[in-house]
Amino acid sequence: MSQRLTLLGATGSIGRSTLDVVARHPELFSLFALTAHHSIDRLYQQCLAFRPQVAVVASAGEAAQLSRRLKARGCNTEVLYGPDALVAVAAASQCDTVVAAIVGGAGLPSTLAAAQSGKRVLLANKEALVMSGALFMRCVTRARAQLLPVDSEHNAIFQCLSNHPGVRPERLLLTASGGPFLNRSLDTLDSVTPDEACAHPKWRMGRKISVDCASMMNKGLEVIEAHWLFAMSPERIEVLIHPQSIVHSMVVYADQSVLAQLGNPDMRTPIAQALAYPQRIDSGVERLDLTQSEPLSFAQADLRRFPCLGLALDVARDGCELSVVLNAANEVAVAAFLAGVLAFTDIARIVGETLSQTRSVAIDNLEGIQQTDCLARIRARQLAGLPPLSE
């Protein structure tokens, strides 16, 4: 039977890659809903191509504009707007699979709604688990949802674990390219530009996640995500620098066998694996030719170069009680860096100061998570010298 998909975050890099895979298999997938924040022109083109039943945008004005344009082209997609509409399409009975690809904490309510509704959830929004790990996994269990990781590292681990169901691994090894500043002189990092930080050597992603990769905060968030996904103690999750981005992660078993998943650095591979699981389908990704690839190398991460990674590892090892604060402060600091307000090296400073000025909080409901997220953003903005957000 064809899967009916809701794609949360359709216009971002993960959303576009998902639609590329879907377009290759019209007999397997159809679109119930596509959502976007402000990329109305791109969403308009996607609606014309895939004819979803529903589209969701941020505001009433954008919804009216998109609806008029679609009707003029004979497209009857219903256009809704706002956070409540995101939650509604994620939980709707008309879809069975939700691809959660909204960037940042904004994706938490809709992703959680999909889990609570017992959907097949393809998780690319790592912040959902970073912010609400215990709550999210409990909802998955209670609603009998199926949770499939789309992040390349977690999808790689999932594939390796699938070969030995029921057997607990000894360690998980998350690989990281090291980003654009792996070999840059440390005393020049305060002068890097947003464009330099977004120039990832291997992956093509949105600007926020590209900066997170440059600081390796992304990898720290992935450690927290892996902790919840695979019920693994953070002390048993290691990060390895792997500049070639061919080995996407590894699993170590008690007999010291190491299983790895390899592939070209293209997000269509894990997306296709998750969409088709437990089957396999063509992803459109170029064949990996190991005879033509660079020699594969691995190294420990230098926490002097990547202090954001160190902050995230500390939060993970302290029980993840400040993971909401970690994520919120990082989102504020990265946005300020991209806007030219902060230096790249200020990101770790703002995150560290926000963490140090916030008490530990064990949060067990969405309202508490959102309140803590809001308070952390206010404090981070104060520390960064930013004006308060208007109501």
* Spatial distance between the Cα atoms of 370 and 83, rounded to a whole number of angstroms: 13
pLDDT of residue 11: 96
Look at residue 75 and give its three-state secondary structure: coil
- Is there a single domain that holds both residue 237 and residue 251? yes
Question: Per residue in 237-249, is it b (16+ CB within 10 Å) or e — as a string?
Answer: bbbbbbbbbbbbb
pLDDT of residue 390: 65
Whether 351 maps to a domain, the answer reads no
Whether 188 maps to a domain, the answer reads yes
The residues, any chain, with a CB within 8 Å of residue 131's CB and separated by 6 or more, are: 105, 108, 323, 324, 327, 369, 373
CATH number at residue 61: 3.40.50.720
Q: Would you report the helix, strand and coil content of the chain in percent, each value rounded to 5?
A: 50, 15, 35
Site of tokens 């790895």: 260
Whether 333 maps to a domain, the answer reads no
- Is there a single domain that holds both residue 88 and residue 137? yes
- Is there a single domain that holds both residue 35 and residue 106? yes
CA of 147: how far to CAs of 60, 119, 247, 264, 267, in Å?
32, 8, 23, 24, 18
What are the beta bridge partners of residue 171?
Answer: 252
- Is there a single domain that holds both residue 47 and residue 189? no
- Is there a single domain that holds both residue 94 and residue 27? yes
Q: Are 226 and 216 in contact (CB under 8 A)?
A: no
- Is there a single domain that holds both residue 66 and residue 172? no
Tokens of 18: 């998902």
Domain boundary among 105, 126, 149: 149
Query: How many domains would you assign to the chain?
Result: 2
Q: Any idea what DSSP says for residue 363?
A: -
Beta strands in the chain (DSSP E): 3-8, 29-35, 54-57, 78-81, 97-100, 120-123, 146-149, 171-176, 237-241, 247-252, 258-262, 299-300
Whether 353 maps to a domain, the answer reads no
First and final C-alpha spacing in the chain:
46
Whether 287 maps to a domain, the answer reads yes
Domain boundary among 320, 342, 365: 320
Whether 65 maps to a domain, the answer reads yes
Identify the H or E element spanning 48.
helix 40-50
Positions of the chain with pLDDT lower than 50, given as ranges: none
- Is there a single domain that holds both residue 297 and residue 231? yes
Domain boundary among 90, 125, 149: 149
Query: Which contacts (CB < 8 Å, 24+ apart) does range 372-379 have?
Result: 372/324, 372/325, 372/328, 373/105, 373/131, 373/324, 373/327, 373/328, 374/328, 376/324, 376/325, 376/328, 376/329, 377/328, 377/329, 377/331, 377/332, 379/329, 379/354
* Spatial distance between the Cα atoms of 287 and 321, rounded to a whole number of angstroms: 42
Tokens of 83: 């956070």
Strands 237-241 and 171-176, by their bridges, are: parallel
Whether 101 maps to a domain, the answer reads yes
- Is there a single domain that holds both residue 72 and residue 160? no
* Spatial distance between the Cα atoms of 292 and 289, rounded to a whole number of angstroms: 6
pLDDT of residue 1: 66
Residues spanned by the domain of 86: 3-149
Burial group, residue 227, by CB count within 10 angstroms (0-12, 13-18, 19+): buried
Whether 109 maps to a domain, the answer reads yes
- Is there a single domain that holds both residue 83 and residue 180? no
* Spatial distance between the Cα atoms of 369 and 105, rounded to a whole number of angstroms: 10
- Is there a single domain that holds both residue 121 and residue 181? no
Site of tokens 């959680």: 112
Q: Which among 116, 33, 37 has a CA at the least distance from the CA of 79?
A: 33
- Is there a single domain that holds both residue 118 and residue 179? no
- Is there a single domain that holds both residue 125 and residue 31? yes
